[in-house]
Structure 1
């Protein structure tokens, strides 16, 4: 049976369960929110049958389940009898902080539809008292900002290698087709020597050795890649520290065929040497039907 890391997320409404789930998703957990307790064993069984494709899961169970929630203890007993290891993570906060959050978001407490938030919190604490007692980890979010909660989640369940906590995409593109919408860092390399103007290089792409050699035989290209990578070497660790999960670096030239492709590939290689999780993509490389002779990056 494949080993699966199982987290059961629960706690008080407004204590930060949604933020916790988002942080766990960023860490590679397969997450399901508001799962009826009776489905926990079936869901875990499906994870075991995934042949290792799903090895980190988190399910959120709380009083939003209504009458289904009362079955949680019986289902946890089933997991214990099946000798399935899991952790219960309980999030809570002070009454005052919870009331403040509900008022700021203008949401009703699920147990006080008429608007008496304090009464809803009181009832919820009583309903969750036994589950809180079973928790492996209790996180008080009263004084935690969302970023601080995210960092706490990363500290406990994150990657041992911090470089692996940030996924970097380096994407080449052509300005004539528009800038990628999800870009974080944008670099225009249209100032570099353009292989397009050489008849023998025009039908090729930046994936081809001849094009890459042409681009990087220029002193300007080499100076640029050195200086830009120095900038990235400064920036990326700070993005990791800030808790960013995905960084999109967009490299653009006119058509997205030659210069941007060669530069994106080179940057990807350099970042991978620093052991970052890197994907190199070429959005517009096929727009003219150009084909590479040396395979895909």
Structure 2
């Protein structure tokens, strides 16, 4: 089981790191009491493959028990059933001070140090030193943008950062209403319509006969070529910005022939490139006649 503890300085970006881990398939828990850690790990092990990637954020908010975390993690590293990693995030004092002033949030040690943010940060850094010493990964977020931090976290846990983004290919019929959730919408009503070929009307773009008909026209083949080229350019940009899901929709009149054909073909094209793709067809079951 992959087991990651996300820890580090308050204000260093741990929440963002947890969001990234959740997006790439980790079961994430924030601020679990240390007393529950071993019980939770046992439950995860009993669940088999259902909870095989877990990330827990544990930091100074745990109070006095936090001092025991380092020792417990060292013990867990001896368990051959667990792949234990510690992801430690930090930032300079100046940057953390600036972030707290911008968000106007209280530091977890604010009360203990009578509202002195400088003293709270200094004390936290001292208490975190043992964990920093056993960290598997160390990220200094002082001068990282949000997208750069996301990219760094993904690079630690994914063979390819593009694996972090799910691409949803969908088709729809304009006569039943345009899709509203898509990031990119392509209207393929400009292409010859198989609906007017009696033998093809009952079939859909999932069937070879319809697909062959649609792609038998030079304008269809040219459009497919240009769409592939456009997506080859756009997708790395979306991945670089940290987007976790991209929805690409194709629309035709009824949502059964041309749009389905293009959603299927583009989906296959992107899958062959090793991207994570899911296909769906909103209106394919309508107008069966």
How high is the TM-score relative to the length of structure 1? Answer: 0.85
Partner of 1:72: 69
Return the offset for 1:289: 6.7
Alpha-carbon distance in 1 for matches of 2:251, 2:190: 11
The secondary structure found in structure 2 opposite 1:9 is strand
1: CA distance between counterparts of 2:16 and 2:227? 34
In 2 relative to 1, CA 81–221 (structure 1 residues): closer, same or farther, beyond 3 Å? closer
Kept in 1: contact 2:14–2:89 (CA 8 A): yes
For structure 2, the 5+ residue unaligned runs are none
Q: Shift of the alpha carbon at 1:13?
A: 0.9
What is the match of residue 239 of structure 1?
Answer: 238
**1:72-131 deviations in Å (ceiling 9; x for gaps):** 345335525645441222211112111111121222222215754223323322332332
> If the length of structure 2 is used for normalisation, what is the TM-score?
0.87
Q: Which residue of 2 aligns with 1:120?
A: 120
Cα pair 1:37 1:69 within 8 Å, conserved: yes
Cα pair distance change 1:43/1:222, threshold 3 Å = same
Alignment of 1:71-220 (within 5 A): 71-73=68-70, 75-76=72-73, 78-80=75-77, 82-83=79-80, 84-112=82-110, 115-159=115-159, 161-220=160-219
For residues 270 and 77 of structure 2, the distance between their equivalents in structure 1, rounded to whole angstroms, comes to: 44
Deviation at 1:15, TM superposition (A): 0.4
Instruction: Give the direction of change, closer, same or farther, for the CA distance of 1:210–1:55 in structure 2 (3 Å limit).
Output: same
Are the equivalent residues in 2 in contact too, given 1:38–1:72 (CA < 8 A)?
no
Q: CA RMSD, aligned part only? A: 2.6
Once residues 77 and 136 of structure 1 are traced to their aligned partners in structure 2, the CA distance between those partners, rounded to angstroms, is 12
Cα contact 1:169–1:280 (8 A) shared by 2:
yes
Relative to structure 1, the CA distance from residue 276 to residue 81 in structure 2 (aligned partners, 3 Å threshold; closer, same or farther) is closer
3-state SS in 1 of match to 2:143: coil
Report the alpha carbon displacement of residue 10 of structure 1 after superposing the two structures with TM. Answer: 0.5
Please name the residue that 1:295 is paired with: none
* Cα distance change of structure 1 residues 119 and 174 upon mapping to structure 2, 3 Å threshold: farther
Distance (Å, rounded) in 1 between the aligned partners of 2:283 and 2:261: 13
Q: Alpha-carbon deviations, 1:139-176, whole Å to 9, x = none?
A: 221111111212221232222x4543432221112223
Count of matched residue pairs? 286
Mapped to 2, the partners of 1:276 and 1:101 lie a distance apart of 36
**Judging changes above 3 Å, is the alpha-carbon distance between structure 1 residues 21 and 190 closer, same or farther for their aligned structure 2 residues?**
same
Which deviates more, 107-116 or 219-228?
107-116
Aligned-pair distance for 1:50? 3.7
The 8 Å contact of residues 205 and 290 in structure 1, kept in 2 or not, is answered as no
1:34 is the counterpart of 2:44:
no
